[in-house]
Structure 1
Amino acid sequence: MEMDQAAAVFKLLGDRTRLTMMRILADHDCCVCEFVAMFDASQPAISQHIRKLKDAGLVKESRRGQWVFYSMNRQYEHFEFVQLLMEALPSQEEKFTELEKQGKRISCD
């Protein structure tokens, strides 16, 4: 991996929300509505973060019925690098536990 490529990944993940989203996507596929609930943010704001991650190739989307779910792109050229970064970060599992307690886990179903 070239320094410029690593710098671009670090710059993209330098945003706390995007970094947290990527850590979550390392363990779970998510839809926008789940991220909206987790971050207590607007749907357009979450969609912008997702778009940046997707445009960089770090995230991919898949359709399930009428809903779009996002996951880490395991075909990304430097997936191993990103995966190592995510493994070094704390789990975000408590965000899912809280969503489930609130009855909002996959609230778009």
Structure 2
Amino acid sequence: MLTEISQFYKTCSEPVRLRILNILLNNQKVCVCDLVTTLALQQSMVSRHLTYLKNADIVTVSRSGTWRYYELNTELSADKLAVLKILKTQLMNHEQCCADINQFKTSCCD
């Protein structure tokens, strides 16, 4: 249990993953290509960070054709959801995170 808690906070502590979480906290389902466009990062880097989030059970992935969609895990415990809610509030005050939300558009996979 302690390892799981540690892994959760460690996963949430990286800046790129915080930006991804910020977008996921403000959108229901997100395609990798839309994250790549918004974050202005290489697809391999975005995918690597999404894998960390998936391995920590923070996000889930689904497929539709060739596209992969990520969303917050709806089965997260109440305490983890509470932490993410606080995180969302904190990220709303960060300039880069606000810019990401304003720039984010779902487009290429719909």
Please tell me the TM-score bracket, short chain as reference. 0.7 to 0.9
Number of residue pairs the alignment of both structures matches: 104
Q: Deviations over 1:44-90 (max 9, x none)?
A: 11100001100110000122343221000010235423433333323
* Unpaired stretches in structure 1, ≥5 consecutive residues: none
- Comparing 9-18 with 81-90, greater Cα deviation is found at 81-90
In the alignment, is the contact (CA less than 8 A) between 2:39 and 2:100 conserved in 1? no
- Give, in whole Å, the separation in 1 of the partners of 2:45 and 2:54: 14
In structure 1, the partner of 2:75 is: 75
In structure 2, the partner of 1:17 is: 16
Identity of aligned residues (%): 24
* Unpaired stretches in structure 2, ≥5 consecutive residues: none
RMSD: 2.2
Higher helix share: 2
Query: TM-score normalized by structure 2?
Result: 0.76
In structure 2, the partner of 1:84 is: 85
Structure 2 counterpart SS, 1:26: helix
- Give, in whole Å, the separation in 2 of the partners of 1:85 and 1:4: 22
In structure 1, the partner of 2:100 is: 95
Q: For the structure 1 residues 96 and 90, does the alpha-carbon distance in structure 2 shift closer, same or farther, using more than 3 Å as the test? A: closer
The one-letter code matched in structure 2 to 1:81 is A
In the alignment, is the contact (CA less than 8 A) between 1:31 and 1:68 conserved in 2? yes
